[in-house]
Amino acid sequence: MKLATWNVNSIRTRVDRVTAFLERSGVDVLAMQETKCKDEQFPVMPFEALGYEVVTHGHSQWNGVAIASRVGLDDVALGFEGMPTWGDTPESEARAIGATAGGVRVWSLYIPNGRALGDPHYEYKLQWLAALKEAAGTWVGADPESKVALVGDWNIAPLDQDVWSMDFFAGATHVSPPERAAFAAFEEAGFTEVTRAFVPQQFTYWDYQQLRFPRNEGMRIDFIQASPALARAVTGATIERNERKGKAPSDHVPVIIEIAD
């Protein structure tokens, strides 16, 4: 089975690119982030025409997550237990959706950006990651042989090599020690980031501004954290850099893992 994650940066804008990618790549399950639409606005029909079921979680033109699968979608969950809220009238943002597809419990995740060190959104980000780690630990603890995939836009560059310039990012979010520690802490819950073993160094995101992509001034912030049983089954991974090229691309590219039966 092929499982992919992609921050599509508006599914209504890029549905043709996303479905064309599915046709070319043979991906069985695609987790999407930043869909930027309400559930009723999601363009489901082009996916269904290719044989994919789709589940979505979107409240507005911000955030939004979804999963498309041609190997089934069961036990859908919107958000996870203990997920922090945000806003003057707090409600859970559309940042997490889970479903079981092809025997894998897939969570499509859009981790909060953090905005700036010291910003309340930065603390929210750290709280969100801590709550996710706590929840994920209980999932694996309840069934150590379960195949669980935490996939998506983590908005964290765990290593210095994951940004084009540490000098440029000095004092900024995404590279701060607390964020990196929060990412690494998923190992305590039994998870392993499984893409780096196959793709040691490559970016997954390039800003639209200042010719960042032609200059390869990017970041690696899209990852797949796998439970022990899933990590043992992963046989390969790729980062689809070419999806950043062409007409109206997302600023992120797909990340794919291959999972043995």
List the pLDDT tens digit at each of the 261 positions of the chain.
999 999 999 999 999 999 999 999 999 999 999 999 999 999 999 999 999 999 999 998 889 999 999 999 999 999 999 999 998 767 779 999 999 999 999 999 999 999 999 999 999 999 999 999 999 999 999 999 999 999 999 999 999 999 999 999 999 999 999 999 999 999 999 999 999 999 999 999 999 999 999 999 999 999 999 999 999 999 999 999 999 999 999 999 999 999 998
Judge if pTM exceeds 0.95: yes
CA-to-CA distance for 219 and 161, rounded, in angstroms? Answer: 9
Query: What is the β-pairing status of strands 192-193 and 148-153?
Result: unpaired
Domain coordinates of the chain in residue numbers?
2-259
CATH superfamily of 2-259: Endonuclease/exonuclease/phosphatase (3.60.10.10)
CA-nearest of 222, 233, 255 to 105 is 233
Please compute Rg for the chain using Cα positions. Answer: 17
CA-to-CA distance for 134 and 82, rounded, in angstroms? Answer: 8
CA-to-CA distance for 65 and 109, rounded, in angstroms? Answer: 7
CB-side exposure of 40: number of CA atoms within 13 Å?
A: 0
